[in-house]
Amino acid sequence: MIDQQTDPQRAYASPDVVRQIGEITRKLHDSVAQLGLMGDLQAATQALPDARSRLNYIARKTSEAANKVLNSVDEAKLEHQTISATTLRMVDELTSNGNLSPTSGEKLRSLVAHVQGSTDRIDEHLTNIMIAQDFHDLTGQIVNKVVKLADDLEGNLVQLLLQVAPEYESTPVAPKPEDLHGPVVNPEARTDVVSDQNEVDDLLARMGF
């Protein structure tokens, strides 16, 4: 048999604790009702999915941007390698056939060394650009944590609403006009927006433009 003093769950759920929680809940209910906060509480609860959706939009867009940059860096590094190898081959071709005087050959090698120095520095810049894309990982981790926080908060607020207003139903609160501005973060969930330029063109075409 488990003794109440040795079982933490039973100890915390003592009648006194339950009574105190009931009192706090009743006070909270009365306060929310007296202060007329039901509407605000409901609006806050319903605003959280939108906030979460916007954060996911940021995560998606930063990921796409970082990958575009990495793709371009990969391409540029390949081009750099080609330029570097071709330049060296060109010097070998020109100097090995005896087409150039020793002085001209030396001058050409000096110019090519200059070009090689520049392309090496360009490669270093490309590497720095590549490493700088770690912003996606770093900001993404923060965004994920905030999304998780919003999830938990939403769950708690819904529980609170059910406690203080058992008749609570998730009736949508009309968004404020300013909330509708800016990029559309979840076009697939809306019928009042377009998701890409093709849809804009289709719409305009249907209107005769």
Partner 1 sequence: MPACPDLRFLVVDDFSTMRRIVRGLLKEMGCQHIEEAEDGVTALQSLRSTRIDFVVSDINMPNMDGFELLAQIKQDPALCHIPVLMVTAEARKEDIVRAAQTGAAGYIVKPFTKATLEEKITKIAQKMPVTA
String of contacts with partner 1 for each residue 47-66, x by CB under 8 A: ----------------x--x
Kindly tell me which of 52 and 136 has the beta carbon lying closer to partner 1.
Answer: 136
Kindly tell me which of 133 and 163 has the beta carbon lying closer to partner 1.
Answer: 133
Q: What are phi and psi of 6, to 5 degrees?
A: -100, -10
Kindly state whether residue 108 participates in binding partner 1, applying the rule CB under 8 A. Answer: no
Residue 101's region, left for phi above 0, alpha for psi from -120 to 50, else beta, is beta
Minimum CB separation from partner 1 for residue 27, in Å? 38
# of chain residues touching partner 1 (CB under 8 A): 17
Kindly state whether residue 99 participates in binding partner 1, applying the rule CB under 8 A. Answer: no
Instruction: Give Cα 197 to chain centroid, integer Å.
Output: 22
Kindly state whether residue 133 participates in binding partner 1, applying the rule CB under 8 A. Answer: yes
List the alpha helices (DSSP H) in 98-134.
102-132
String of contacts with partner 1 for each residue 150-189, x by CB under 8 A: ----------------------------------------
Tell me which residue has tokens 């509708």: 180
Kindly tell me which of 66 and 161 has the beta carbon lying closer to partner 1.
Answer: 66
The only residue of 130, 173, 184, 193 in contact with partner 1, by rule CB under 8 A: 130
Instruction: Render 23-63 in DSSP notation, one character per residue.
Output: HHHHHHHHHHHHTT-HHHHHHHHHHHHHHHHHHHHHHHHHH
Kindly tell me which of 1 and 138 has the beta carbon lying closer to partner 1.
Answer: 138
CA–CA distances in Å: residue 128 to residues 61, 71, 97, 131, 138: 21, 14, 40, 5, 16
Tell me which residue has tokens 């110019």: 111
Q: What residues line the site for partner 1 (CB under 8 A)? A: 63, 66-67, 70, 73-74, 127, 130-131, 133-138, 140-141
